[in-house]
Amino acid sequence: GYSFEGWYENDNLVGTNVEFNFNATGSRTLIAKFKATITVNTSEGGTVTGGKDYSLGANATVTAIPNTGYQFDGWYEGSTLQSQTASYTFVVTRQISLTAKFKQIQYTIFTSAETGGTATGGGTISHGTFMSLTATPASGYQFDGWYEGTILVSTNLNYTFTATASRTLIAKFKATITVNTSEGGTVTGGGAFTNGQNT
């Protein structure tokens, strides 16, 4: 887990070979210095940088980069959490093997139905997976559409989409207004109308 850095004399590098040969011309104090190997690993969901040999006492920086749909969970040495900062700087005192862990981003899909039917589906889902919602009109009603706020996003009873964010979706329905006449005249105005619409 270590590599040779060099022979030093009074903080001056005097040789980089493991075996240092010289002619003795006086008393000398020589220090062999070593570099510690910082190994970085990754779990599924991202990439890492910063693994290399560092001088003891130097600052090392390792960086975790999540893939789309993932978030950084932490730097671990074995099962021990070392940092929850994606760009982690520390003083090198020994060789160490660090693993960056990532987890999929979770979204919440809220669904509701206005008067005239029911809505099923929704819940917690991972980024990039499919969510299916189903709207069921009650007797005397027609499905109007799936709405996000005031925006119509689908007119299909069964709405399937890929999760890329948390969403709140409302199933809206139209009430059927039936007009009849007895003998002696005609009527108009029947049809399907949304809740709150004047007829």
How many other CB atoms are found less than 10 A from the CB of residue 72?
20
* pTM for the predicted model, two decimal places: 0.69
Closest CA to 42 of 51, 31, 52, 34: 51
Report percent pLDDT > 90 for the chain.
84
Instruction: Identify the burial level of 132 via C-beta atoms within 10 angstroms of its C-beta, where 0-12 means exposed, 13-18 middle and 19 or more buried.
Output: exposed
Closest CA to 156 of 137, 175, 128: 137
> So what's the pLDDT on residue 190?
46
Render pLDDT for 105-152 as a digit per residue (tens, 0 to 9): 999 999 999 999 999 999 999 999 999 999 999 998 999 999 999 999
